[in-house]
Amino acid sequence: MTELLGVAVLGAGHMGADHVRRLDRVVSGARVAAVADPDTGRAKEAAAGIDGVLVHAEAEAALDAPGVDAVLIASPGPAHEAALLAAFARGLPVLCEKPMVPDSEGALRVVEAEARFGRRLTQVGFMRRYDAEYVRLKSALGSGRLGRPLMLHCVHRNVASPPGFSSAMLVNSSVSHEIDAARWLLGQELTAVTVLRPRSSAGAPPGLEDPQFVLFETEEGVLVDVEAFVNCGFGYQVRCEAVCEAGSARIGEDHGMLVTRGGAAQEEVPQDYLVRFADAYDREVQAWVDAARRGRVTGPGAWDGYAASAVAEAGVRSLAGAGRVAVELAPRPDLYAEPDR
């Protein structure tokens, strides 16, 4: 493709508006052709100043807009399945923000629909695979110089949870990133989940069980623990340490600006995931655009989206009192026989 890739962005909230900005100002080889959001005022605001953008209230109207070659889905999770199936019906490549589909049954329907289409169309927005530190950790583990992985220790902290954030969402929204990162870093499926609940922080909204401690088991016996704390109050932190037979490797140490004044030193802590992972989002979308212009799809795919939903669903059951819950995955279609890169 020699022309710019025309992208329809579905959803103009915090994430969607940032992707509109990214496609217009940062990423090469693409243009924003349409923006859809039930709140058309919000969609118009996101598209303001960009020539030729068509604004729609309905997702399918945006998919059918002139000049649309691909779709970026940043709408709320429950709307993703319908949008993905509509994109498949038009043969459009998709970058879908996580969760691909919140429930595993819906996610499996997407996998099966793409398998019937016979070609991969979906990249799921697990942007940590494009973060420079995660890429280095993946390389270190893949080199074998640290020996076999034994444990992953993960931390996922947010300043504050948004309105309406539920206890289950700590697992199926926040920890979904650690689910995919662990599968990718280790090259293994997660086979069981146990969610433990320390006493809730006084900073958590009433009724929200925060923090949570999530323990995953893998098919080869590696243990992955995640501290999820979405109302820590002081900053956005994501860390991961791999402990192996012959060494360890840790990423996510804060390296913001250090200010020394009045006999004290203070280091800045990012307050938002769009700040901490800005470069990763840029690389993720650029990689998707480059691949789509070549008629390909790379990166985490629909099977990864389904696996993440199935693991998270098991975690929510554990949170509800089921203790250790085994993860059961459907048979993997031949389309996904090769690992997603």
Are residue 315 and residue 231 in the same domain, yes or no? yes
Write down the pLDDT at residue 266: 72
Residue 96 lies in a domain: yes
340 in a domain, yes or no?
no
Cα angle for residues 279, 127, 227 (degrees, 5° grid): 105
Q: Which domain holds residue 160?
A: 132-276+307-326
CB 83 within 8 A of CB 68: no
Q: Are residues 284 and 270 in the same domain?
A: no
Is-contact 227 337, C-beta < 8 A?
no
Structure tokens at 117: 């289409």
Based on the domain organization, do 50 and 182 belong to the same domain? no
Q: Determine if the pTM surpasses 0.85.
A: yes
Q: How far is it, in rounded angstroms, from Cα 104 to Cα 118?
A: 21
pLDDT digits (tens, 9 = 90+) for 139-193: 999 999 999 999 999 999 999 999 999 999 999 999 999 999 999 999 999 999 9
149 with 205, same domain: the answer is yes
Same domain, 288 and 228: no
Instruction: Decide if 336 is inside a domain.
Output: no
At residue 1, does pLDDT exceed 70? Answer: no
Average pLDDT of the residues in 228-232: 97
d(CA 167, CA 228): 11
For the chain, count helices (H), then strands (E): 11, 15
Q: What is the CATH number of the domain that holds 184?
A: 3.30.360.10
pLDDT digits (tens, 9 = 90+) for 63-109: 999 999 999 999 999 999 999 999 999 999 999 999 999 999 999 99
Q: Is there a single domain that holds both residue 153 and residue 105?
A: no
Whether 170 and 242 share a structural domain: yes
Do 49 and 152 belong to one domain?
Answer: no
| pLDDT for the residue 260 | 65
174 shares its domain with 262? yes
Domain count, the chain: 2
| 297 vs 119: CA distance, rounded Å | 9
Whether residues 91 and 148 share a domain: the answer is no
